[in-house]
Amino acid sequence: MADGRTTRDTTIGRWTEALAGAGGDPGGGSAAGVTLAIAAALMSMVARYADDAAALDRADALRGAALEAADADAAVSAALGAAMRRDDEGRPEAIREASLEAARSSARLGEHARGAVPDLEHLAAGADAALVADVAVAAAALRAAMSGARANLSSDLGLLRSVGLSLAEVRALHPDLWAAVAGLDDAIARLDGLTARIDHRVAPTD
């Protein structure tokens, strides 16, 4: 954040106030990171009630990683904004470098989120009636995090067109980042399947 605070150390009120600003630090990628941390916290809660130590350890680690990813993305978002504002001959190269760093940041965040899907499926299978709604909220937050990471990753790669690359060239030069978009699509579909399977337990009044 512009005031030097980390996502972990600030309050929700101050963080959302910063998000509402026009600086891009934090931005949408950081929001995806915080959303992932919320999903992880809910997973930790469910795992704790279920006395599932292994799932709890992984969810706690994910929560920390998500907050770190939120801060990392805020930094690259600020750098991308600075590159876009340049008006000298170095602007195209600055945009290229900043776009790629932003894309890598989004891909890392997406990879963290994708890794949580199997644990959430496991927790859903064993959740009792008092916890299944919390599993559903965790799934919704996890989906939002993955969707946000996917949108940012796609946008970051698309920005490379502004420095003269075609999408075909972007795909050829950065196949790992391109594949990460498809990987997030697969993970989102898998998570949607989980949500559909537990819906009758969450909302029996439908």
Residue identified by tokens 């170095």 is 90
Which class does domain 21-202 fall in?
mainly alpha
Confidence at residue 204, expressed as pLDDT on a 0 to 100 scale: 73
Question: What's the pLDDT band for 22 if we cut at 50, 70, 90?
Answer: confident
Question: What's the pLDDT band for 64 if we cut at 50, 70, 90?
Answer: very high
Can you tell me the distance from the alpha carbon of 138 to that of 132, in angstroms, rounded to the nearest whole number? 10
Confidence at residue 166, expressed as pLDDT on a 0 to 100 scale: 94
Can you tell me the distance from the alpha carbon of 194 to that of 84, in angstroms, rounded to the nearest whole number? 40
pLDDT at 20 over 80: yes
| Burial environment of residue 140 by CB neighbours within 10 A (0 to 12, 13 to 18, 19 or more) | middle
pLDDT at 1 over 60: no
Average pLDDT in the 25-51 region? 95
Question: Greatest CA span in the chain, whole angstroms?
Answer: 62
Can you tell me the distance from the alpha carbon of 74 to that of 116, in angstroms, rounded to the nearest whole number? 22
pLDDT digits (tens, 9 = 90+) for 136-157: 999 999 999 999 999 999 999 9
Q: Mark out the alpha helices in the chain (DSSP H runs).
A: 12-19, 28-49, 53-85, 91-115, 117-126, 132-159, 167-173, 175-202
